[in-house]
């Protein structure tokens, strides 16, 4: 089995293993990946904002390389006061308030969206400090959610981000097992004292970069090829 790891802001300052850089051509465009015993894809492909990410190309590239299991790292905001910044969640469900891309633009095909229970159990074993279970809700980005939106989302979900739901759905379409490790980088707008900004999220990623790097290493050592 071949493992793929997707990262974004949470991997910005993480020391990644020495892998070969490769551009994979797909029917949806090209995607830059790092390949070796594991395949790592940085979803922003440099500096692409979340609403402009070519999710179809990214996920198709992993499929073309033979990846059949994906762990996605997602920078997230907490919708609940008890889910504190600095913690980690492994969600078991997701939803989206924005349009989710599909590889099935020219045929009718319905898939059952699911986060892999088997992968979640493995993540729970590898990362006992993580909060297992919870709902991730995706918004379009790049703007941060309004206070009114946060108050509404808190009734139906636990954390909020801009990418994981799209990746999860496309993984299901491509027959790839999927799970996510969500780093809680801040309270959502209105729940905390911090004034939220991209710079604040980046600084949090920098602060926890060593921990994130250790988690990536753990995944590779225990689940890699």
Say what the alpha-carbon torsion angle 215, 216, 217, 218 is, to the nearest 10 degrees.
Answer: 50
Q: Comparing C-alpha atoms, which of 36, 38, 75, 30 is closest to residue 56?
A: 30
Helix (H, G, I), strand (E, B) or coil at 133: coil
Q: Which of 1, 42, 48 is nearest to 19 (CA)?
A: 42
Predicted pLDDT at 17: 80
Q: Which tokens go with 214?
A: 């250790």
The candidate with the shortest Cα–Cα distance to 3, out of 126, 128, 106, is: 126
CATH of region 3-223: 3.40.50.1580
Task: Supply the mean pLDDT for the chain.
Answer: 91
- Give the DSSP letter string of 13-65: T------EEEEEEETTEEEEEEESSSEEEETTTTT--GGG--HHHHHHHHHHT
- Contact between 124 and 114 (Cβ < 8 Å): no
Q: What is the pLDDT of residue 46?
A: 75
- Going residue by residue through the chain (225 aa), what tens digit of pLDDT does each one get? 699 999 987 777 777 787 899 999 999 999 999 998 899 999 988 788 889 999 999 999 999 999 999 999 999 999 999 999 999 999 999 999 888 999 887 677 778 889 999 999 999 999 999 999 999 999 998 899 999 999 999 999 999 999 999 999 999 999 999 999 999 999 999 988 777 777 777 787 788 888 988 999 999 999 886
pLDDT computed for residue 208 by the predictor:
81
The Cα 217–Cα 75 span in angstroms is: 18
Strands 3-7 and 39-42: parallel
């Amino acid at each position: 089995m071949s493992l793929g790891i997707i990262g974004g802001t949470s991997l910005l300052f993480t020391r990644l293993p020495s892998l070969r850089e490769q551009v994979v051509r797909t029917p949806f465009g090209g995607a830059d990946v790092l390949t070796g015993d594991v395949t790592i894809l940085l979803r922003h492909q440099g500096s692409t904002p979340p609403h402009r990410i070519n999710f179809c190309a990214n996920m198709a590239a992993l499929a073309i390389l033979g990846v059949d299991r994906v762990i996605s790292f997602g920078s997230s905001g907490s919708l609940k006061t008890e889910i504190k910044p600095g913690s980690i969640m492994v969600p078991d469900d997701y939803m989206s308030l924005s349009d989710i891309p599909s590889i099935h633009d020219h045929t009718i095909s319905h898939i059952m969206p699911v986060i892999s229970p088997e992968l979640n159990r493995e993540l729970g074993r590898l990362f006992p400090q993580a909060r297992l279970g919870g709902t991730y809700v995706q918004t379009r980005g790049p703007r941060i959610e309004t206070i009114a939106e946060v108050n509404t989302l808190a009734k139906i979900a636990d954390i909020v981000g801009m990418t994981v739901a799209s990746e999860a759905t496309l993984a299901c379409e491509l027959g790839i097992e999927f799970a996510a490790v969500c780093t809680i980088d801040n309270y959502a707008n209105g729940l905390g004292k911090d004034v939220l900004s991209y710079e604040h999220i980046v600084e949090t990623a920098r602060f926890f970069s060593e921990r994130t790097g250790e988690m990536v290493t753990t995944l590779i050592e225990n689940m890699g090829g």
